[in-house]
Amino acid sequence: MGQAGPGGARSAAAGLSGDRGQLGGRGHPGVTGGAAPLPRAAQTARLVGERLDGVPVRRSEAAGDYIPYMPLREELPADSADATLARLARFPAGEREGGTALAREALARFTGPVPGDEPRHELVVTHNFLIGWLVRDALDAPPWWRLGLDHGNAALTVIRYAPGRPASLVFYNDMRHLPVQLRWTGFPPGYSPDVTAGEERPPR
């Protein structure tokens, strides 16, 4: 969890990791942005920065694409432990071994109330694993739990951190800002509902 103590409320919006994103908005005081270093995230962050005039966007290794936590077999549900560990073992060693320190940095950088009385709104352009890790932390769930969370390309998740209160998951995996044809990208065929917001999905 983020550090407790006096300070302003912070709202952290995580997502927008796909190849294309649509995000419109008016200028808002206290808005900052952080972006993962991979090209697709950097491109999305640049597009967001063009839409939100005056919002500084900074590259952050802590917002990158890595495995935040490597679970032990005994932590995992028995019926899925072997498959989960085999899947994680296929990732490059650097993503598996360096993720723990980056995940700690991400929690310190992007979560918890902020000093002062002014609220802060942060947009973090990141990837599926870190979004799951931040949501897991907000819900005070076990470390392995984030493995069951999948995030759509360019979807939004908002977590609010206020002094003296638990973190609040405002919404998760919201795609309403996207045109129908760009919703549910990044998921396997058959994973998504046939109808989104009352509109028929286009054929794949």
- pLDDT digit string (tens) for 125-177? 888 889 999 999 999 999 998 888 888 888 889 999 999 999 999 999 999 88
Rounded to whole angstroms, how far apart are CA atoms 161 and 129?
20
Confidence of residue 111 (pLDDT cuts 50, 70, 90): very high
Task: State CA 150 to chain mean position distance.
Answer: 10
Alpha helices, H only, 32-169: 39-51, 81-89, 93-97, 99-110, 128-138
Domain positions in the chain are: 10-200
Indicate the DSSP class of residue 27.
-
If you classify domain 10-200 with CATH, what class do you get?
alpha beta
pTM (predicted TM-score): 0.75
